[in-house]
Structure 1
Amino acid sequence: MLTFEVPDMSCRSCASKISKAVKEVDPQARVEVDLTAKLVRIDSGQAQASELKTALEQAGYTPSEPAAPQGATTSSPAGCCGGCRP
């Protein structure tokens, strides 16, 4: 699942416009919009991240990858999340 931060998204109309833009690239994509957090999560089986980002930009938004929370890591040095280790 891809996540984009979209700071200029503010209402249900924005959410609808974003969902429509994503569906034009991948009609089967699942789109979750969190207006409070300004995040868009996209589960797409056929579109690349760059295609989806371009679609959001063409819809008039400025998507970016969200920053990791302070103190969080995106992966362990071994490339594993570490969840399977005791």
Structure 2
Amino acid sequence: MQTFKVQGMSCGHCERAVVNAIQARDSNTRVEVDLEAGLVQVEGSLSEAVIREAIEEQGYQVQ
């Protein structure tokens, strides 16, 4: 499982946008978002670069 610290997520819409962007690249990928902690956990076959790109395309900053 890969874990990413993401800035700018604050609501359910943010969560859905990140989950949908990652799963659009691989629908079998499991994504969990913790808004309070600002964490996105991803389990699947996608590379770190692909996941970072998906999150950043939604307007969020990956640390």
Q: What band does the TM-score fall into relative to the shorter chain?
A: over 0.9
Greater relative contact order, per chain length (Cα 8 Å cut-off, separation 6+): 2
- The offset of 1:26, in angstroms, is 1.3
- The offset of 1:60, in angstroms, is 1.1
Higher helix share: 2
- State the distance in 1 between where 2:61 and 2:25 align: 17
- State the distance in 2 between where 1:9 and 1:37 align: 10
Higher strand share: 2
Percent identical across equivalent pairs? 37
- The CA deviation string for residues 40-85 of structure 1, in whole angstroms up to 9 with x for no partner, is 00001x2101001001111111112xxxxxxxxxxxxxxxxxxxxx
- The offset of 1:7, in angstroms, is 1.6
Displaced runs of 4 or more, over 6 A: none
Q: Which runs of 5+ in 1 are unaligned?
A: 65-86
- The offset of 1:39, in angstroms, is 0.4
How do 1:1-12 and structure 2 match up within 5 A? 1-12=1-12
Q: Which runs of 5+ in 2 are unaligned?
A: none
Is 1:25 aligned with 2:20? Answer: no
- The offset of 1:4, in angstroms, is 0.6
One-letter code aligned to 2:48: A
Q: Is the radius of gyration larger for structure 1 or structure 2?
A: 1
Could you tell me which residue of structure 2 aligns to residue 56 of structure 1?
55
What is the root-mean-square deviation of aligned Cα atoms in Å? Answer: 0.8
